[in-house]
Amino acid sequence: MAAPTDSRGFDRAYSAPLTMWGDWRIPGAVKDLVAENGAARALELGCGVGRISRYMARHGLRATGVDFSPVAIDKATSRVAGDPVRPEFLVDDVRELSLLTGPFDLSVDIGCFHCLDREGQARYAAALARLLRPGATHLMWVMENAPSNRPMGADEIGATFAPSFRMAGVENRRRRLVRSRWFWLERREAQA
């Protein structure tokens, strides 16, 4: 089954009783990033039903989750309604992030970036650069055979995020039964 390409398609997917999008567990890379960042301000891009944002909030981070599917955001908001500490959830486009102001100390994306076309990926990188403080980490998981049909190697990711980010790490993985990679990108100092 191909990934939807617009918010209505994701709305339909998130309206189903079960969907293949969304994490059932918290990846170790996310746990490590959260443990290293204490009371940081955190952003999750393409948050879906908000599991990662909820995890970050439960571990002391001031978390905000963004998704362009109103259905996903409604589900995320409902899931955390009784939590003593809740993330903020917003319907927004990761290519714009017009509802947010920075700076954020870290950001996470598990499976959103690789669904965008080349122009969307460039806009995503620019919007993220506007919001992250210098030295902030952006942790991103992408499938090797991405739904966008674009290569997702270190060279391609590095070029998309340059010059605002430097590649701090890459790890090849097998996750969700597909070959994939984790990327750690660090926000560079703003250019004058």
CATH T-level fold of 28-187? Rossmann fold (3.40.50)
CA torsion through residues 18, 20, 21, 23, sign: positive
pLDDT bracket for residue 21 (50, 70, 90): low
Structural domain spans, the chain: 28-187
* pLDDT, tens digit, 9 for 90 and up, residues 34-77: 999 988 999 999 999 999 999 999 999 999 999 999 999 999 99
Q: Residue 151 burial by CB count (10 A; 0-12/13-18/19+): exposed, middle or buried?
A: exposed
Take residue 110 and report the two structure tokens written for it.
């598990």
Give the per-residue SS3 of 22-36.
CCCCCCHHHHHHHHH
Q: How far apart are CA 21 and CA 14, in angstroms?
A: 8
Count, residues in the chain: 192
Instruction: Say how far residue 159 (Cα) sits from the centre of its chain.
Output: 18
What band does 1 get if pLDDT is binned at 50, 70 and 90?
very low
- Lookup result for tokens 């001031």: 62
Cα–Cα distance measured from residue 191 to residue 23, given in angstroms and rounded to the nearest whole number: 36
